[in-house]
Amino acid sequence: MPLLRLLGQVLTRPLDKHFARCLLCGSGDEVQAGVCASCQCDLPSLGHACIGCALPLAETQDRHFDRYCATCIQRPPPQASSVACWAYAYPIAQLVQRFKYQRDFAAGRTLAELAAQALHPHVQQPPRIDILVPIPMHWRKQLFGRGYNQARLIADIFADYWRLPVAPDALRKVAASDSQQTLSRAQRRKNLAHSFAAGPQVKDLHVGLVDDVITTGATQEAAAQSLLAAGASRVSVYALARTP
| Interacting residue ranges for Zn ion, rule: CB under 5 A | 22, 24-25, 27, 36, 39, 50, 52-53, 55, 69, 72
**Please, which residue, 54 or 230, has the CB nearer to Zn ion?**
54
Kindly state the smallest distance separating residue 29's Cβ from Zn ion, in Å.
8
Kindly state the smallest distance separating residue 156's Cβ from Zn ion, in Å.
25
**Please, which residue, 91 or 108, has the CB nearer to Zn ion?**
91
Kindly state the smallest distance separating residue 217's Cβ from Zn ion, in Å.
7
**Please, which residue, 63 or 203, has the CB nearer to Zn ion?**
63
Other C-beta atoms within 10 Å of 174: how many?
Answer: 12
Beta bridge partners of 128: none
User: Measured between alpha carbons, how far is 56 from 83 in angstroms, rounded to an integer?
Assistant: 10
Q: What is the DSSP track for 124-173?
A: HSSSPP-EEEEPP--HHHHHHSSSS-HHHHHHHHHHHHHT--B-TTSEEE
Beta bridge partners of 36: 31
**Please, which residue, 37 or 176, has the CB nearer to Zn ion?**
37
Kindly state the smallest distance separating residue 23's Cβ from Zn ion, in Å.
8
**Please, which residue, 25 or 118, has the CB nearer to Zn ion?**
25
Kindly state the smallest distance separating residue 69's Cβ from Zn ion, in Å.
3
The contacts of residue 157 (CB under 8 Å, 6+ apart) are 109, 112, 113, 116
- For residue 221, the one-letter residue type is E
